[in-house]
């Protein structure tokens, strides 16, 4: 069969699409950012619909599975200091009540909080339902309602057909900036530049005490031995986290195509990446069993439901966060979040590149990086917000996406209450509300 997209084109008949929901705030995507955005807006009194293509919340946290929440802290030689608080801190506290870890784990020149991906699904359901957020699962956003430069809602394909939601404010938390792209926003996306994706997996049957005693360099040395013995491992430096007995979560595969990252917005390249990512796991299983202490009897316990895409569209906003901001403690009048996460670059080689911030420092993230340039009625929160490739390498981590989501949700509700567009809200009032709910905005 010829798969060429130019083989033929068909015309679809025009159709009537029912408007099923009319809400104050529509949040598309229920990952780190969307979860917080929806709950934050609802707690301010807005009527909120949260639409998610999966049957559960958490996005990358639960569908890809990560080892730990990054971005919560800045570190000095002696201290681990929170730089993200607010609803992200409330969420990690909820996970702790379900039995998750409370104590940060120090590694390299930073620290993160390990978590159990399954608990995220449970805690997220609880959080949104308690806040009164209406949920629509298994629905994919496929279009937007747009009048001139105003985004007025979105169109979804669900199990029961196509439907629309009209809203005063739409928040794009799709990670890929799907809504912004459908609305015609300007964005950057270049497969020659973006970071490589990773398929996450968990190994069972691990002697966790011995495995955890290895630092990153030691793990890398053992895996380099495996490479020297002929095993084809695309990456030897990676993360290993344990939150369950005998179980280790590994962030170690790396999928590359023709010397660059595969394009996560291309169906065939994404499909091939899923297959390649899973295929790599069998090579890692052999390498861990033979070469890494503590893993002699390990087996594959779990594989993420989806390959982990680190980077795709970055939507150009009123402010474009830069590497200079990240490395020089950027400060902004309209700051809505802080981050101290290093620039973490997963290129195509076997090593990951890190550029750390000075000990104990952080940079701020401005509200304007969530306002897509030239469009009204739309906010973009999470990893698809407005940042250069280099700045994105730092701001994309889960805790920072949560802080941006919380800010976007409060901003959207304040826009609704004031009857204005998100660009025209009083950012001092936004910052006061965020501070009152425990968010850390820095000096």
Q: Which stretch binds ligand FAD (CB under 6 A): 47-55, 83-91, 210-218, 278-286?
A: 47-55
Return the number of the residue (13 or 55) whose C-beta is nearest ligand FAD: 55
Give residues 123-142 in contact with ligand FAD (rule: CB under 6 A): 140-141
Return the number of the residue (278 or 290) whose C-beta is nearest ligand FAD: 278
The reply to whether 310 sits near ligand FAD by the rule CB under 6 A is yes
Output the CA–CA distances (angstroms, integers) from residue 117 to 40, 64, 67, 127, 274, in the order listed.
22, 9, 8, 15, 20
Interface pick for ligand FAD out of 174, 242, 273, 386 (rule CB under 6 A): 174
* 395/409 Cα distance (integer angstroms): 18
DSSP secondary structure letters along 291-319: HSTT-TT-EEEEE-SS-B-----EE-BSS
What one-character DSSP code corresponds to residue 266? S
The minimum distance between CB 210 and ligand FAD, in angstroms, equals: 22
Give residues 232-261 in contact with ligand FAD (rule: CB under 6 A): 251
Q: How far is CA 311 from the centre of its chain?
A: 9
Q: Where are the beta strands (DSSP E) in 317-362?
A: 335-339, 343-345, 353-355
The reply to whether 33 sits near ligand FAD by the rule CB under 6 A is yes
The minimum distance between CB 174 and ligand FAD, in angstroms, equals: 4
* 372/313 Cα distance (integer angstroms): 12
Interface pick for ligand FAD out of 44, 60, 352, 427 (rule CB under 6 A): 60
- Distance, first Cα to last Cα, the chain: 61
The reply to whether 119 sits near ligand FAD by the rule CB under 6 A is no
Interface pick for ligand FAD out of 401, 410, 411, 415 (rule CB under 6 A): 401
Residue position matching structure tokens 């070469």: 291
The reply to whether 312 sits near ligand FAD by the rule CB under 6 A is no
Return the number of the residue (375 or 402) whose C-beta is nearest ligand FAD: 402
Reading the block at residue 230, the tokens are 């002929």
The minimum distance between CB 438 and ligand FAD, in angstroms, equals: 19
* 154/167 Cα distance (integer angstroms): 8
Return the number of the residue (18 or 55) whose C-beta is nearest ligand FAD: 55
The reply to whether 66 sits near ligand FAD by the rule CB under 6 A is yes
SS3 172: strand
Dihedral over alpha carbons 409, 415, 416, 418 (to 10 degrees): 140
Return the number of the residue (174 or 414) whose C-beta is nearest ligand FAD: 174
Q: Which stretch binds ligand FAD (CB under 6 A): 23-31, 321-329, 350-358, 409-417?
A: 23-31
Cα–Cα–Cα angle for 79, 82, 72, nearest 5°? 115
Q: Which stretch binds ligand FAD (CB under 6 A): 6-14, 29-37, 293-301, 328-336?
A: 29-37
* 406/421 Cα distance (integer angstroms): 18
**Can you give the binding site for ligand FAD, defined by CB under 6 A?**
28-34, 51-54, 59-61, 64, 66-71, 140-141, 173-176, 178, 198, 200, 251, 308-310, 382-383, 396-399, 401
């Amino acid at each position: 069969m010829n798969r060429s997209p130019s083989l033929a084109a068909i015309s679809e008949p025009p159709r009537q699409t029912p408007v099923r929901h009319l809400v104050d705030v529509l949040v598309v995507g229920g990952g780190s950012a969307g979860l917080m955005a929806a709950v934050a807006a609802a707690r301010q009194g807005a009527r909120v619909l949260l639409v998610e293509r999966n049957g559960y919340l958490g996005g990358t946290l639960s569908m890809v599975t990560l080892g730990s929440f990054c971005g919560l802290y800045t570190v000095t030689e002696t201290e681990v200091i929170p730089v993200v608080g607010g609803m992200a801190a409330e969420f990690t506290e909820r996970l702790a009540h379900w039995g998750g870890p409370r104590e940060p784990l120090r590694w390299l020149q930073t620290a993160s909080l390990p978590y159990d991906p399954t608990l995220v699904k449970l805690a997220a359901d609880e959080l949104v339902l308690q806040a009164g957020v209406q949920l629509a699962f298994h629905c994919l956003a496929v279009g937007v309602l747009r009048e001139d430069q105003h985004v007025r809602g979105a169109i979804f394909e669900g199990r029961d057909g196509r439907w629309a939601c009209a809203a005063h404010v739409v928040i794009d938390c799709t990670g890929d900036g799907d809504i912004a792209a459908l609305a015609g926003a300007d964005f950057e996306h270049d497969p020659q530049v973006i970071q490589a994706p990773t398929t996450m997996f968990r190994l069972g049957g691990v002697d966790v005490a011995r495995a955890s005693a290895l630092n990153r360099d030691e793990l890398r040395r053992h895996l380099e031995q495996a490479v020297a013995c002929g095993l084809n491992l695309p990456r030897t430096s990676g993360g290993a986290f344990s939150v369950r007995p005998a179980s280790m979560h590994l962030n170690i595969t790396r999928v590359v195509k023709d010397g660059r990252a595969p394009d996560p917005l291309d169906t065939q390249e994404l499909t091939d990446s899923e297959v390649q990512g899973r295929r790599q796991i069998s090579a890692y299983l052999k390498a861990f069993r033979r070469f890494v202490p503590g893993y002699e009897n390990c087996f594959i316990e779990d594989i993420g439901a989806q390959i982990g895409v680190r980077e795709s569209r970055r939507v150009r906003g009123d402010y474009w966060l830069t590497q200079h901001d990240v490395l020089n403690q950027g400060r902004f009048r309209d700051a809505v979040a802080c981050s101290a996460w290093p620039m973490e670059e997963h290129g195509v080689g076997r090593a990951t590149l890190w550029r750390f911030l000075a000990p104990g420092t952080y940079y701020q993230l401005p509200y304007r990086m969530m306002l897509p340039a030239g469009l009204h009625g739309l906010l973009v929160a999470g990893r698809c917000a407005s940042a250069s490739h280099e700045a994105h390498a730092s701001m994309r981590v889960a805790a920072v996406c949560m802080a941006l989501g919380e800010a976007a949700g409060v901003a959207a509700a304040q826009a609704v209450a004031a009857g204005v567009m998100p660009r025209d809200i009083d950012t001092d009032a936004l910052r006061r509300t965020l501070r009152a709910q425990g968010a850390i905005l820095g000096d």
